[in-house]
Homo-oligomer: A and B are copies of this chain.
Amino acid sequence: MKTFMMIVSYDGTNYYGWQRQTHLVSIQGTLEKALEKMLREEIRIDGAGRTDAGVHSLGQVATFTTQREVTEDQIKIAVNNLLPEDIVLKSVFQVAPSCHARYHAIGKRYGYKLYRSSFADPFKSRYATRIVHQLDEVAIRKAMEQFIGTHDFATFMATGSKIENTVRTITQFDLFIENDEWYFQITGNGFLYNMVRIIMGTLLDVGRGKISAQAIESIIKSKDRDRAKRTAPSCGLYLEKVYYPEEICRKQG
């Protein structure tokens, strides 16, 4: 029995999110089908987290266990040949049987891409959120600073989520601007459901002057979802990287 970890990149546009669903095409379901076709046994993969419909990945992580005597390269080559062009295994490596993509994840990094344009750009619209109005960069950067640190992020969780501990730590939050493209990058020890998209929706309101940058602290403290109403579209969101403790999920051999 061998346990493998896979780094998976995908364009999420044509999928109903990561999680397997009975009658809908999902990333997890598509990966499991490809692995089952190759390995000729039932395969259940565990993802580091669920990405919503339309969300992209540069570094989603999933683990699975197989009875077959296969190598990392055999899986990578065979499965990539079976996968559609919008999902790719960037790497595959054997890990200790105890390593689990979800349980052992200790942090994640997300990216969020915007572009400013009066009209849609057909080559960007799947991969970035279009903004028509000018955004106040100074106010946005000031607001971003206030998210860094350990906070109760209950304000920034999709309603209906049933998680008890809503305290998370954001260790990094940067903004890179190149021409009309804005790329946000945020790292934390974990994110609540829709947290990045609600933070981004709030920052867009700050950028348009609907919320003042100074108000962010009190919005976080309020733990009131009504204070952060906007959820930014999924097409701008990228799961960039998932972090694991070296001692458990290290590459074997």
Whether the Cβ atoms of B80 and A122 lie closer than 8 Å is no
In the bound assembly, the distance between CA atoms of A222 and B80 in angstroms comes to 40
In the bound assembly, the distance between CA atoms of A76 and B121 in angstroms comes to 14
Chain B residues in 8 Å Cβ range of A119 = 76, 80, 88-90
Whether the Cβ atoms of B122 and A11 lie closer than 8 Å is yes
In the bound assembly, the distance between CA atoms of A86 and B80 in angstroms comes to 27
Chain B residues in 8 Å Cβ range of A83 = 120
CB of A85 closer than 8 Å to a CB of B: yes
CB of A9 closer than 8 Å to a CB of B: yes
Chain B residues in 8 Å Cβ range of A120 = 80, 83, 85-86, 88
Q: What interface size band does chain A fall in?
A: 20 to 34
CB-contact partner of A86 in B9, B10, B90, B125, under 8 A = B125
CB neighbors of B among A77-103 (8 A): 80, 83, 85-90
Residue with the highest number of chain B CB atoms closer than 10 Å, among A56, A119, A126: A119
> Chain B's nearest CB lies how many Å from the CB of A50?
18
> Chain B's nearest CB lies how many Å from the CB of A116?
15
In the bound assembly, the distance between CA atoms of A119 and B248 in angstroms comes to 29
CB of A147 closer than 8 Å to a CB of B: no
- CB-nearest residue of chain B to A87: B122
Chain B residues in 8 Å Cβ range of A125 = 11, 85-86
- CB-nearest residue of chain B to A121: B88
Chain B residues in 8 Å Cβ range of A127 = 123
User: Can you name 28 A-B pairs with beta carbons within 8 Å?
Assistant: A9-B121, A9-B122, A9-B123, A10-B122, A11-B122, A11-B123, A11-B125, A56-B122, A56-B123, A76-B119, A80-B119, A80-B120, A83-B120, A85-B120, A85-B122, A85-B125, A85-B126, A86-B120, A86-B122, A86-B125, A87-B122, A88-B119, A88-B120, A88-B121, A88-B122, A89-B119, A90-B119, A123-B127
